[in-house]
Chain A
Amino acid sequence: DVKVTQSSRYLVKRTGEKVFLECVQDMDHENMFWYRQDPGLGLRLIYFSYDVKMKEKGDIPEGYSVSREKKERFSLILESASTNQTSMYLCASSLVGLAGYEQYFGPGTRLTVT
């Protein structure tokens, strides 16, 4: 089974802090994604990466950056956390190919910024 793990299930940070969210997948997937999920807004893509050291902006990249130094690990960085970044953050990974881009999700990190 594909396993996607995230470093924390719950996180509480203060406004202005730098926050790192880590995601690791064990199936050698090329693609990795970061989403945030908010009530009534569904899932919104923050960033994705299709290869090591490659990244692409999603729909809401402002206030975030990412890092992918190794294929299995994709980090989301909040440079200076703000209260409007309180949310559930979901990491996902997928293969690349004719079989489509079925995504496998991690358990999520619920981040609260106070």
Chain B
Amino acid sequence: ELKVEQNPLFLSMQEGKNYTIYCNYSTTSDRLYWYRQDPGKSLESLFVLLSNGAVKQEGRLMASLDTKARLSTLHITAAVHDLSATYFCAVEGDDKIIFGKGTRLHILP
């Protein structure tokens, strides 16, 4: 059974700092997605990672996928307050897509 674990589940950090959110999954997959959700809003697609070694970057966010380690990371560089949100990874496998529980990111100004 496919399981997806994110950590940390909650992260409070200062503006200007760097940090990484981790997404581990339990079965073979080479397709992984990152989403952002602002409070009271729906989910918005950030990155689509479709192969081992895939790396995508947008602004201060960079996502990567290591299918051998069954791990994806979402790296935040020089965080700004506008990046405060909940971030979800989702993994495709076993004919379904399973979401992690989300990482609630709070960036202090």
Whole-angstrom CA separation of A105 from B96 in the bound complex: 16
- Interface residue tally for chain B (C-beta within 8 Å): 19
Partner of B99, one of A42, A101, A102, A107: A42
A100 x B50 contact (CB < 8 A): yes
B68 at the interface (CB under 8 A from A): no
Q: In the complex, what residues of A have CB within 8 A of residue B31's CB?
A: 100-101
B25: shortest Cβ distance to chain A, in Å?
14
B44 x A42 contact (CB < 8 A): no
A100-B92 contact given A90-B42, A106-B42, A107-B41, CB 8 Å threshold? yes
Chain A contact residues, CB within 8 Å of chain B = 35, 40-43, 45, 58, 90, 92, 99-108
Chain B contact residues, CB within 8 Å of chain A = 31, 33, 35, 41-45, 48, 50, 88, 90, 92, 96-97, 99-102
9 A–B contacts from the bound complex (CB under 8 Å): A35-B99, A41-B101, A42-B88, A92-B43, A101-B31, A101-B33, A102-B33, A102-B48, A106-B42
